[in-house]
Amino acid sequence: MNSRSFFSKRASRKALVAIPLCLTLGLSACGNDSGGDVASTETSTNTVTSTAQSTIAQTQASALQEMIVGPEDAPEGLEHTDVSTINDLASDLAGNVNFDGPVQPEQCQPLAVDISTVGKWAALPKEESATAMFSVPDSDEVAIVRVDATETTVNPDECGTITREHANEIAKSVSTYSVTPMEIDINDADNVVAVEEKLEGLNVAGQDLDVPPAGSQNVIITGTVKGKTFTVVGSNTIPKEALQALAQNQVNKINEKA
């Protein structure tokens, strides 16, 4: 019997002064008209710059969001699900989990995926990353898709064993994963990697635990297309053909929209 994945709806539910202007500009600025003019000019310039940067970010975010797979891209066996579930998870975990817990080896970060990873994905700015979620009908198993604005590659041969550390409000925990490469065929993409990731152990406050989610297994498919990185993560209980089809549909969408 296959082990339950981190990526289930049930698991997701349980996862864990303004400064006075005089002090800012110096006391002379409060009683000097010319100083006030300079301050006004600087403020106007900063406002224009900030507005321009915001416009660029919004444009980039819109373009990236158009590249992420949607309901029409769901392969047989999967259906598109409201991604707000991930956003709610990120809010629930905020302050309780260090989303940027160190991974060893460092270059294996893309293959160290757990429920806190999904929270981090959801919290990223929309001009940097787009995220979608699909589920198996009448099941709590889900697949997560992410598209990044930049390229990231990983060599699974360097990632046979991965550890990831989290520091939360209660204690430090260390998760240990095994990573096994898989054969997969994705067209029109580069640097494609597919692996099965298994959580082999969980150590909390120095004690080894043999409780869920230890033993959970996920399939991870990642690669690059036209300067973007795509990642699909799903439970190993989801047919690999469905996850492969979802990854291929994401590649096709990037090639179409980029």
38 in any annotated domain? no
d(CA 202, CA 120): 20
Asked if 5 contacts 235 with a C-beta cutoff of 8 angstroms, the reply is yes
What's the confidence (pLDDT) of residue 8? 63
Decide if 175 is inside a domain: yes
Q: What is the CATH number of the domain that holds 71?
A: 3.40.1000
Instruction: List CB contacts of 120: < 8 A, sequence separation 6 or more.
Output: 90, 99, 100
Q: What percent of the chain has pLDDT over 70?
A: 68
For residue 127, the enclosing domain spans: 9-15+57-257
Q: What is the mean pLDDT of residues 224-239?
A: 94
DSSP string, 167-225: E-SS-EEEEEEEEEE-----SS-EEEEEEEEEEEEEEETTEEE--TTTT-EEEEEEEEE
Q: Is residue 73 part of a domain?
A: yes
Asked if the structure places residue 103 within a domain, the reply is yes
* 71, part of any domain: yes
Contact 188, 251 (CB under 8 A): yes
- 4 is a domain residue: no
Mean pLDDT of the chain: 78
Omega cis (within 30) before 213: yes
Q: How confident is the model at residue 122 (pLDDT cuts 50, 70, 90)?
A: confident
Q: Is 36 a member of any domain?
A: no
- pLDDT per residue as tens digits for the range 20-72: 222 223 323 334 555 556 566 666 556 555 554 455 445 556 789 999 999 99
Give the total number of structural domains in the chain: 1
- Per-residue pLDDT of 126-184, as tens digits, reads 889 999 999 999 888 899 999 999 999 999 999 999 999 887 777 788 989 999 999 99
